[in-house]
Amino acid sequence: MPKMRFMTIERHIIEGEKKHPGATGELSRLLSDLVLAFKVISLEVNKAGLVDILGFAGSENVHGEQVKKLDVYAHEMMFKAMDHGGHLCIMASEEEEDIIHIPSNYEIGKYVLLFDPLDGSSNIDANVSIGTIFSIYKRVSEDGHPGTQEDCLQQGLNQVVAGYVVYGSSTILVYTTGDGVHGFTLDPSIGEFILSHEDIRIPKKGKIYSINEGNYKYWHPGLKKYIKHLQEEDAESQRPYSSRYTGSMVADVHRTLLYGGIFMYPADSRSPKGKLRLMYECNPMAMIMEAAGGRASDGTKRIVEIEPTNLHERTPIFIGSEYDVKQVEEFMANEESLSWIDKL
Ligand code: AHG
Ligand code: MN
Ligand code: MN
């Protein structure tokens, strides 16, 4: 007999909310709406090779990057699934420059949703895993009115739920409300996400590092030394580490969460703030990683402590096993970091 309980994500969310006295069930209903969007996106991702959805949509997103059709589709699905539930007061998406208001004919709720509808979009044509990343906050502006930019620009510490979906060899949804990290695999035959990874804990130390090494020339000198250190031989500390990098943050962080190790997208002399977006990518992943016993830092401080000033701001990120993230922080602190940063 299988050891695990047969637990759908909807039931898991409801049971989780029941543990909090005074909970209204509103967050459960919001998450159920989101789950529907993920099922629809997953279906579309799986048939992407069969229909005319591959390739560039011909436009650029707000970061000046080419947008693929599936990004646009995923963004629209998220909006359509979430605009009329009555739980949100505002949304923001990596694919849209401004905050996204709830249409005036729908009820306005007390939650805020930020999302990267399709992460790893450069991998779509190659069938490499891609994903969706999201985070939910409580509004800080007055109830009953449309949400504001201030509702979206909150510290990661204020997230009430964070999660992601990987559309890979199977579709898996991982989420946390701060109290444990749980993974659910989509059973396509019944259309349900079933609990498959209960209470995920990241190993305290790993033996895999994940970074775009093509940018080596532009890195901080301490980071260069750190990567060289990982490549040296030392049986006791399980070096040399293995290197894995897909180009989809969601897939690289998911692997890091399960196997341990470290994923990095650092600042470099060409991109002084790194590449990844604080609000749509780094904060939700940081909340998940910390809830699983790991660490997420911008090199000097916790990602979730960053005070955001811009919806689309970027941050360097070092995320994964506690030991590994602390070690890269030390390497960078010991290596004339200030003068390097000042030169940028
Ligand atoms: P997105 O597809 O949402 O724009 O994100 C792509 C990101 C992230 O998923 C990945 O880790 C990173 O870009 C890869 O960047 P490089 O190609 O510079 O390594
Ligand atoms: Mn992304
Ligand atoms: Mn994206």
Which helix (H) or strand (E) is 22 found in, with range?
A: none
Question: In this structure, what token pair is assigned to residue 307?
Answer: 């005070």
Q: Give me ligand 2 centre to Cα 332, in Å.
A: 25
Nearest protein Cα to ligand 1, atom 16: 247
Residue 22: the pLDDT is: 80
CA-CA distances (angstroms) from residue 77 to 121, 195, 223, 310?
16, 24, 39, 24
Q: Is 268 a pocket residue for ligand 1 (Cβ < 6 Å)?
A: no
Q: Give me ligand 1 centre to Cα 247, in Å.
A: 5
- Cα–Cα distance between 314 and 303 in angstroms, integer? 11
Give the orientation angle of helix 249-259 with respect to helix 283-291, to 10 degrees: 10
Surrounding residues of ion ligand 2, Cβ less than 5 A: 116, 119
Residue 51: the pLDDT is: 55
**Cβ-based neighbours of 235, under 8 Å, separated by 6 or more:** none
Residue 69: the pLDDT is: 84
Q: Is 245 a pocket residue for ligand 1 (Cβ < 6 Å)?
A: no
Which helix (H) or strand (E) is 329 found in, with range?
A: helix 322-333
Q: Is 256 a pocket residue for ligand 1 (Cβ < 6 Å)?
A: no
Question: In this structure, what token pair is assigned to residue 59?
Answer: 């436009």
Residue 331: the pLDDT is: 96
Ligand 1 atom closest to residue 94's alpha carbon, by position in its atom list = 3
Span 9-197: which CATH code? 3.30.540.10
Q: Is 12 a pocket residue for ligand 1 (Cβ < 6 Å)?
A: no
Q: Give me ligand 3 centre to Cα 168, in Å.
A: 16
Q: Give me ligand 1 centre to Cα 201, in Å.
A: 25
Residue 258: the pLDDT is: 98
Write down the domain spans for the chain: 9-197, 208-343
Residue 19: the pLDDT is: 84
The three-class DSSP label of residue 115 is strand
Q: Is 218 a pocket residue for ligand 1 (Cβ < 6 Å)?
A: no
Q: Is 211 a pocket residue for ligand 1 (Cβ < 6 Å)?
A: no
9-197 shares its CATH topology with 208-343? no
Q: Is 212 a pocket residue for ligand 1 (Cβ < 6 Å)?
A: yes
Q: Pick the closest to residue 303 from 33, 4, 294 (CA basis).
A: 294
Amino acid at 224: K
b (16+ CB within 10 A) / e for 270-309: eeeebbbbbbbbbbbbbbbbbbbebbbbbbeeebbebebe
Residue 209: the pLDDT is: 98
pLDDT tens string, the chain, 344 residues long: the values are 555 568 999 999 988 888 887 888 899 999 999 999 999 999 989 876 665 555 556 666 677 766 558 899 999 999 999 999 999 999 999 999 999 999 999 999 999 999 999 999 999 888 899 999 999 999 999 999 999 999 999 999 999 999 999 999 999 999 999 989 999 999 999 999 999 999 999 999 999 999 999 999 999 999 999 999 999 999 999 999 999 999 999 999 999 999 999 999 999 999 999 999 999 999 999 999 999 999 999 999 999 999 999 999 999 999 999 999 999 999 999 876 555 555 55
Residue 344: the pLDDT is: 53
Ligand 1 atom closest to residue 248's alpha carbon, by position in its atom list = 9
- CB 288 within 8 Å of CB 173: no
Q: What share of the chain is helix, strand, coil (3-state, %, to 5)?
A: 35, 25, 40
Give the orientation angle of helix 26-46 with respect to helix 69-82, to 10 degrees: 150
CA-CA distances (angstroms) from residue 43 to 67, 68, 77, 116, 186?
20, 17, 12, 18, 11
- CB 240 within 8 Å of CB 233: yes
- Cα–Cα distance between 76 and 74 in angstroms, integer? 5
Q: Give me ligand 2 centre to Cα 339, in Å.
A: 30
Q: Which fold has domain 208-343?
A: D-Maltodextrin-Binding Protein; domain 2 (3.40.190)
CA 220, 224, 225, 229 torsion: positive or negative?
positive
Q: Is 62 a pocket residue for ligand 1 (Cβ < 6 Å)?
A: no
Residue matched to tokens 């804990």: 201
